[in-house]
Copies of this chain bind each other. A is one copy, B any other.
């Protein structure tokens, strides 16, 4: 059964649970902001629904609630950091904020962090950058789960990445995707819907093309555009794993042996570095308008998320499966936080 919960209740329980799980006050604020932004974008999975998993990781000690982030190296607008096995949401927000700071002076910047964890989604970080007047970009490395063109061996990660740019009307342009045809989430959705997928999306465990999303999930996902997506994924691994001095390809994390330990890299460009901000935003909107005047009702990246966010902020509440709210409330009871009141 579905039930309505106000956004303020969602935000309140998220921050209270994170605090009870050990995050200090400042970190609670940062991570809650990321969760709320992701939830406003209406992805429906990499958002508030991840809180129980995060709480499991924090309370079991698998991920540190208050990591000591240390700068490794710096040169002009380049910086690299050790993430100390902190929350991906914390490490991701950290590098994006550093990148914004560095871009203010240098116009463009790159900040990389190793030894992090899953950062939920890219859109919260790049949205934050766009709101502050930057073209924001973030990319994450992970385990080699993707093939090369025509190869069934998994050789590289999928380079989940996102960017955003501010516009002067409607919503920012905002993009969040990986370089395989399908994320595991997308394959999972197809499985649940009982739908088949294009045969070029991936190979089954025997290395043959398949239209069965389950077979591809158990086999090898392929990069978009063959050698094109593959080449761009290699660039992703260079600017994350190599530049952060983190792990690359199948290299195990020292100590734990974990393969695929995330590094994130944020790049910011000061939108008003080369023209005033009004002109930049106007040109972004004009770009959208020019495309739409060629193709009526064309969907622009960021449009769906922007419309969804506007709608739920207006309504002030969201619908959830009651089971999920019960799960949050069980965590609240366990950690000594106030549960969500069911009216």
Contact = CB atoms under 8 A, between A and B. Distances in A.
A interface, how many residues as a size bin?
A: 35 or more
Interface in A160-178: 163, 165, 173, 175, 177-178
Contacts of A287: 234, 237-238, 241-242, 248-249
Contacts of A163: 235
Nearest to A267: B108
A241 B269 CA distance: 15
Given A106-B76, A239-B269, A295-B148, A286 B248 contact: yes
A95 B113 CA distance: 29
A273 B109 CA distance: 12
A196 to B, nearest CB: 15
Contact of A108 (B76, B135, B232, B245): B76
A229 interface: yes
Nearest to A228: B177
A76 B107 CA distance: 5
B75 A239 contact: no
B298 A238 contact: no
Which of A76, A163, A175 has most chain B Cβ within 10 Å? Answer: A76
A77 B112 CA distance: 18
A72 to B, nearest CB: 7
A155 interface: yes
A73 B275 contact: yes
B75 A270 contact: yes
A151 B290 contact: no
Given A78-B107, A229-B225, A273-B75, A238 B151 contact: no
Contact of A225 (B225, B234, B294, B301): B225
Interface string A181-208: 1000000000000000010100000000
A7 interface: no
A301 B75 contact: no
A200 B226 CA distance: 13
B144 A175 contact: no
A274 interface: yes
Interface in A49-94: 72-80
A259 to B, nearest CB: 11
A4 interface: no
A175 B242 contact: no
Interface of A: 72-80, 105-110, 112, 135, 137, 144, 147-148, 151, 153-156, 163, 165, 173, 175, 177-179, 181, 198, 200, 224-225, 227-232, 234-235, 237-239, 241-243, 245, 248-251, 267, 269-270, 273-275, 280, 283-284, 286-287, 290-291, 294-295, 298-301
Given A75-B270, A225-B229, 9 more contacts: A72-B274, A76-B105, A78-B270, A153-B294, A177-B231, A179-B225, A231-B301, A241-B287, A245-B274
